[in-house]
Chain A
Amino acid sequence: MASTEVMTINMGPQHPSTHGVLQLVLELDGETVVKATPHIGFLHRGIEKLAEHRTYHQILPLTDRLDYLAPMHNNLGYMLAVEKLLGIEDQIPERAQVVRVLLAELTRIKSHLVWIACHALDIGAMTVFIYAFREREHIMNIYEKISGARMTSNYFRVGGLSADLPDGLEQEIRTFVDSMPGHIDTYEGLLTGNKIWQKRIQNVGVISGEDAIDLGVSGPSLRGSGVDWDLRRDNPYSGYENYDFQVCVDDGCDTWARYKIRLLEMRESCKIIYQALDKLKPGPILADCPKVCLPPKKDVVDSIEGLIHHFKIITEGFKPEKGEVYVGVENPKGEVGFYLNSDGGPRPYRMKIRPASFINLQALPKMVEGSMIADVVAVIGTLDIVLGEIDR
């Protein structure tokens, strides 16, 4: 009589489809996954600990390095938390708000482009990868013109922005967004009707809406399980309530549903970017709060007040009053939140990041157990995890 035994294999931490240094210990019965145990922490840099030893302004570059595919969203979430702690969230000028939304949505497209590129590549559709990275390169160039960096933008500031948009950039963004729906059609042409693609992701990685909520899954992964929840609409920040957009929901609960949602989200982001470009009017980009906002360089050089404020903010930082706030924003991966606890000093007493990928990854065992080993690759792709954010 044939006997069977469970075989344990390691997938990662060095594996091309784990999107970073994720290790999965898989227990297999033949090709069926009996148990999956994720091991994380290989990229742990102690950002929360570091934050306790830095002023509020100095923490901002650390947040770029969380979800490095969507740095503007991390910057935005952190800035909103600091502004709420200071109580200046209603003093942010209109132009800064609009630019924040504009760049947040551009970043969403950028992050989703990496998702579709890597997700398709993992499953064997290589062409999409090349196309999506071509479009991403345009966004990186826009990033570079705005902030000087291609990935770690570090562009938003307490009270607004670090600098105004360079001349001619609005037209460049408009040209890019004009071309984007056509590009999405191209990806769909390569994938949506493709029988292999359909067979690889339909009814794979199924998770019900109740289970997803219980496991704390958020973002497109939750909306793919039929839960109609998007922080941009339900807890609007940075003026999202003034934009007209659809929250894409699909009750398919599988990888196919999440695939369709993210493609639709890219199209919705284009709509929001158009609206933001139309709203963009000349005006101040920094709140009038000299005690907390870093003054423009011109004031530092030309006025004694500017110099003093700059010196005070850089050397000792500002001191929010004692208290605690939590702000969550709709990152491309899900809800990214910042919990700031102030003891009245110039550094946060405690900063806790709510990492969307970390909590979404927790649902992975539930989604792969009982399915084939090849589906694990599809599920990692569909969860759209970034290890920089998981390990912090």
Chain B
Amino acid sequence: MSEHRAVAPLKTEFADAVLDVVEFRGETTVTVKKEQIVEVCTFLKKELGFNFLTDLCSVDYLGQDPRFMVVYQLYSIDKNDRLRIKAPVAETDARIETVTCVWQTANWLERECWDLMGIEFVNHPDPRRILMPADWEGHPLRKDYPVQGPDREPYQGRLS
């Protein structure tokens, strides 16, 4: 399969920032440095027409370094194609610049990402929790957060 149309321009424009390009099942994933995420996203929206931020989430690779990966699913309504951008975020500096200035959609999605995964979005206009209560401690989607909740014994299955 031919290379995704965004890969060559990204490599030319951001030679230092593009860390990895992976293709799997016809989907292209480009990993970029988190320091340049806003520049990359602005370029993708303005120059390559990715006007629709479909989704934004994060993955916790506990035990690896960098620990987190912020994942952006982009879509271009005009060109009708998808692209996935990922940015690694270290545990010691779990922060990344917000992309709300590029797509307003990112506002709530980044709040959710902060709420459930504990990644701080720098310069976010409204950095509150969204799904969990405001006074909740911890970030439930982290791999070291127990599924049964804090301070509870793990579920052992039905006894009867």
Instruction: State the A residues within 8 Å of B (CB).
Output: 40-41, 44, 46, 48-50, 52-53, 84-85, 87, 213-216, 227, 229, 234-235, 323-326, 328, 335, 337, 339, 341, 349-350, 352, 354, 358-359, 362, 391-392
Contacts and interface: CB of A to CB of B under 8 A. Distances in A.
Given A324-B29, A362-B105, A41 B55 contact: no
Contacts of A48: 116, 141
Given A49-B147, A323-B24, A326-B84, 14 more contacts: A41-B133, A49-B141, A49-B145, A50-B147, A85-B25, A213-B77, A234-B80, A323-B25, A326-B27, A335-B54, A339-B55, A354-B54, A354-B55, A359-B105
Nearest to A326: B73
Given A216-B53, A324-B29, A358 B108 contact: yes
Interface of B: 24-25, 27, 29, 51-55, 57, 59-60, 71, 73, 77, 80, 82, 84, 103-105, 107-109, 116, 129-133, 140-141, 145, 147
B76 to A, nearest CB: 11
Given A339-B55, A352-B57, A215 B141 contact: no
B147 A44 contact: no
A339 B55 CA distance: 9
B108 A359 contact: yes
Contacts of B82: 326
Contact of A326 (B55, B77, B145): B55
A41, A53, A341 — which one has the most chain B CB atoms within 10 A of its CB?
A: A41
Given A49-B140, A362-B107, A337 B57 contact: no
A234 B116 CA distance: 32
Most chain-A Cβ atoms within 10 A of its Cβ — which of B51, B55, B147? B55
A215 B100 CA distance: 10
Contacts of B147: 46, 49-50, 52-53
Given A326-B27, A326-B84, A350-B59, A337 B105 contact: no
A324 B24 contact: yes
Counting from the closest, the 8 A-B pairs by CB-CB distance are A216-B105, A41-B131, A352-B57, A323-B24, A354-B55, A44-B131, A350-B59, A214-B104
A44 B131 CA distance: 7
Nearest to A39: B130
A48 B57 CA distance: 11
B130 A40 contact: yes
21 contacts: A40-B130, A41-B130, A41-B131, A41-B133, A49-B141, A53-B147, A213-B52, A215-B104, A216-B52, A216-B54, A216-B103, A229-B77, A234-B80, A339-B57, A339-B71, A350-B59, A350-B60, A354-B54, A358-B108, A359-B108, A362-B108
Contacts of B52: 213, 216
B25 A84 contact: yes
A40 B131 contact: yes
A55 B22 CA distance: 26
Contacts of A53: 147
A326 to B, nearest CB: 5
Nearest to A321: B24
A363 to B, nearest CB: 9
A234 to B, nearest CB: 5
B132 to A, nearest CB: 6
B56 to A, nearest CB: 9
Nearest to A366: B104
Nearest to B80: A234
